[in-house]
Amino acid sequence: MPNTKHNRLVASTIAVVLGATSLVACGSSDDDKSESQSGPATLTFWTWAPGMDKVVDLWNKGPGKKQQITVEVKKQASGDSLITKILTAHKAKKGPDLVQAEYQALPTLVSNDALADIAAESKDAKTKFADGVWQQTTLGTDAVYAIPQDIGPMMFYYRADLFKKYGLTVPTTWEQFAETARALKKKAPDKALTTFSANDSGLFAGLAQQAGAKWWTASGDKWKVGIDDAATQKVADFWGGLVKEGAIDNQPMYQPAWNKALNTGKEIAWVSAVWAPGTLTTAAPQTKGKWAMAPLPQWSAGENVTGSWGGSSTAVTTDSPHKAAAAKFAAWLNTDPQAVAALAKESGIYPASTSAQTSDAFAQPPAFFSNQPDFYTKASEIAKTTAPSAWGPNVNVAYTTFNDEIGAAAKNKSDFGAALKTMQDATVADLKKQGFGVAQ
């Protein structure tokens, strides 16, 4: 599952550490700084992924040994703590060579000139990833600021046994989803199809992404913010309406009450991502083998697009004196079959590489979904339909405001749309405060 505490860093922390920043980083590739690597190179890699040291050992004993490029893993905290540490280290010109970075953190790091443009060194890697995934590391430019590592394509999970018991059909559109929620309430008033968790900004962002929202876009040398755009309003009105009428629950996820609701069948579905089986294993252990996975419902019949919730990349920093060597390792880590298989086994990731998604590492379904042999085959097909995301340099501000405003609206069963306007205003105000240009 994604780091549910990510991006709650107070924006002023970044501003105090770094001062005002510009829109686009140079993505420095100074030859006099980056290519002091005619001899052996030792690279430092900041990462939070479990078991990464075992994966890196494969490099050090194989390709790295041949190329005289050694990588040393330095385990770090994830989310905001890591962003702050990277930016602080960069200010002192003491950043690592490589860093694991969540996709939504890339604009913040790039706008502070902390990440190098590795387009020249990674040109062969692009074909290994779905377009929507690759776009997250380019920020819509010709530059490449990281290599995709893992992704979180969103899907619909449901209790197959209870859907059958109550005569429900798996929804293929959001309209059918709402009808299914209402039908279940009529047949079993004590149950709910699912919950809207107002403390999960990443989930809502993924749903908005599926609907076509682009919360941040670059316009010349300015940022344009569209958090209250028509696509996001549609998503907010849909979920807010279901909460207001009581068709679904509105309790937060990952809490004991939510776990119990899933474990006892009080809630019988979950809009989540490919990593959901791991969460269900601990949240609802008594329901093993009773769930099934299907594509996310669509806004219009016949569409085929999903959003993403979670995921990270491997980036090379501008502080590295060995950028080409670091870029080679980043590409190997996330595209080499042996490396990606090790990432899946040791770190428990769902790889961004499309070929890796159909490798032997994913030949069998997750143990919790042993009743669905084609789980990963379906997951791979869904992953290819991931819509491009649009992150900006102050995701943390938007997410924090979401938790406050949408959280209050969900609790009070009031208008979600008004909360979006507050998110928009807070995000724009913060960009201006930090010194970014903002397009209207």
pLDDT at 38: 52
> How far is it, in rounded angstroms, from Cα 327 to Cα 403?
36
Q: Which two tokens stand for residue 207?
A: 């749903």
In terms of DSSP bridges, do strands 308-316 and 98-102 run parallel, antiparallel, or are they unpaired?
Answer: antiparallel
- DSSP states along 129-162: S-HHHHHHHHTTSS----EEEEEEEEEEEEEHHH
What is the value of pTM for the model shown?
0.88
CA dihedral 42, 46, 50, 56 (to 10 degrees): -20
> How far is it, in rounded angstroms, from Cα 106 to Cα 391?
8
pLDDT at 132: 87
E strand intervals along 238-340: 269-273, 291-295, 308-316
Give me the phi and psi of 170, to 5 degrees please.
-60, 120
pLDDT at 400: 93
Q: Output the CA–CA distances (angstroms, integers) from residue 200 to 19, 39, 167, 226, 423, in the order listed.
A: 29, 47, 30, 19, 14
Residue type, 392: G
Mean pLDDT split into 10-residue runs, the chain, 440 residues = 39 37 41 50 96 96 95 89 92 95 94 95 92 90 95 97 98 98 97 94 96 91 94 96 95 95 97 96 96 98 95 97 96 96 92 92 93 96 92 93 92 89 96 92
pLDDT at 14: 39
pLDDT at 27: 41
> How far is it, in rounded angstroms, from Cα 155 to Cα 174?
13
CA dihedral 277, 306, 6, 215 (to 10 degrees): -170
CA dihedral 95, 398, 386, 417 (to 10 degrees): 180
E strand intervals along 48-146: 69-75, 98-102
